[in-house]
Homo-oligomer: A and B are copies of this chain.
Amino acid sequence: MSLIVQKFGGTSVATPERIKHVARRVVATRGAGHHVVAVVSAPGDMTDDLIAMARQITGHPPARELDMLLATGEQVSIALLAMAIHAEGHEAISLTGGQARIRTERVHTRARILGVDRRRIDRELAAGRIVIVAGFQGITDDEEITTLGRGGSDTTAVALASALGADLCQIYTDVEGVFTADPRLVPEARKLREISYDEMLEMASSGALVVQTRAAELAKQYRVPLEVRSSFVDREGTIVAEGTMERRRVVTGVTHDRNVAKITATGLVDRPGIAHTLFRAIADRHVNVNMIIQSVPRPQGADISFTVARSDMAAAADAARGVAREIGAEEILADDQVAMVSIVGAGMISNPGVAARMFGALAREGINIELIATSEIKVSCVIRAGEVERAVRALHREFELDKA
């Protein structure tokens, strides 16, 4: 008997009707002869509502108590889903992160999973039950409740699938799978039947918010086969797995990210330690930096540009200004009218000239490129925010992604 882990996000359990819908989906999988472990997020906006409650009490809630509070969200979901499955005539049991023995480090609000003790889940599955596990949460060795941070439910699902040796980990979400581009921007975008872990990772980190980056990394590391599919439409999704040995596709998809701001420090002196001083100051403000580009030093000094999430722009600029004198910067410029477009494809590695084709396609559209960053299977460009749609469509056309 095969085992399938199914993960349902907050929108999938936002209302009683949707919870019943998820219950029928889970029961159908069980009825098809599979063992099922379902991982559920907090319903709808509940996590945000709980955070708002905490903020009404204090601007600085202790992390431990925030975890205690937030963990109730998934506990509500799992109980309701278990009830709905019972109402469908199937045995089900809900387990908190603690009861499922999802062991984490004691780092509140963003704990990493150390391991899973599968005995309780095995016992419940052996008794014929559908097991429902609270996503996003775990427990330390001294019984403290922790949460994994945003998107933690995907991570819970992948960790459980790995620990239980599941045959498949299905991520149910509000999109039908991974597309060659965002269908809202590119009507002819196609759903991909399969992509590799690396492609998934690059797409997730460049704006295609289908599976959380951290979960995709974990899936890659433990070779957990994933399927991304719709909670609402019963249709095959996209399988994320090791790719075929020789790639045919050069470019798999075009992604974009509007949640980008650019900071530039100009006229820097050219001596060791400048970058360290700057990015140490940024990190001290708990700001994540995405791209970092350092220009070739010119007589008037070097520039360093980097991108952050828009909500972090003020903090990042502030941190940079705080060390401006120390790093000899003339100016710190902050710009939130930018966006990032990327092309991703495992076949790029062995195909020179892909980046050049990208730049050419953008140039023909009259789109100026402000920053460029590349990995082995991705090329990203920062452009003006208002040009995102045209850029994505041009790149989708250039690489003929509408053709299977």
- A: which residues have CB within 8 A of B? 16, 19-20, 50, 53-54, 56-58, 60-62, 64-66, 68-69, 71-72, 75-76, 78-80, 82-84, 86-87, 93-94, 96, 98-99, 143-145
CB pair B20 A57 closer than 8 Å: yes
In contact, B99 and A86 (Cβ under 8 angstroms): no
Copies in the complex: 2
In contact, B99 and A143 (Cβ under 8 angstroms):
yes
Contact of A83 among B20, B62, B96 (CB under 8 A): B62
Q: Would you call B143 and A57 a contact (CB within 8 A)?
A: no
4 additional contacts (CB under 8 A) given A65-B94, A72-B79, A99-B144: A68-B96, A69-B75, A69-B80, A72-B72
Also in contact, A19 and B76, with CB within 8 A (given A62-B83, A99-B143, A143-B99)? no
* Chain A contact residues: helix, strand, loop or mixed: helix
Does B19 contact A57, Cβ atoms closer than 8 Å?
Answer: yes
| Contact residues in B for A19 (Cβ distance below 8 Å) | 57
Q: Are A82 and B68 in contact (CB under 8 A)?
A: yes
Cβ A72 vs Cβ B76 within 8 A: yes
Distance A243 CA – B76 CA, assembled complex (angstroms): 45
* Contact indicator A84/B66 (Cβ below 8 Å): no
CA distance A217 to B98 in the complex (A): 34
If the complex has contacts A62-B86, A86-B62, A99-B143, are A68 and B57 also in contact, measured as CB distance less than 8 A? Answer: no
Whether B58 and A79, one on each chain, are in contact in the complex, defined by CB atoms closer than 8 angstroms, is no
A75 with B71: in contact, given A57-B16, A65-B94, A93-B64 (CB under 8 Å)? yes
B71 engages A83 (CB within 8 Å): no
Min Cβ gap A325→B in Å is: 36
Are B68 and A94 neighbours in the complex by a CB distance under 8 Å?
A: yes
- A83 and B99 contacting across the interface, CB-CB below 8 Å: no
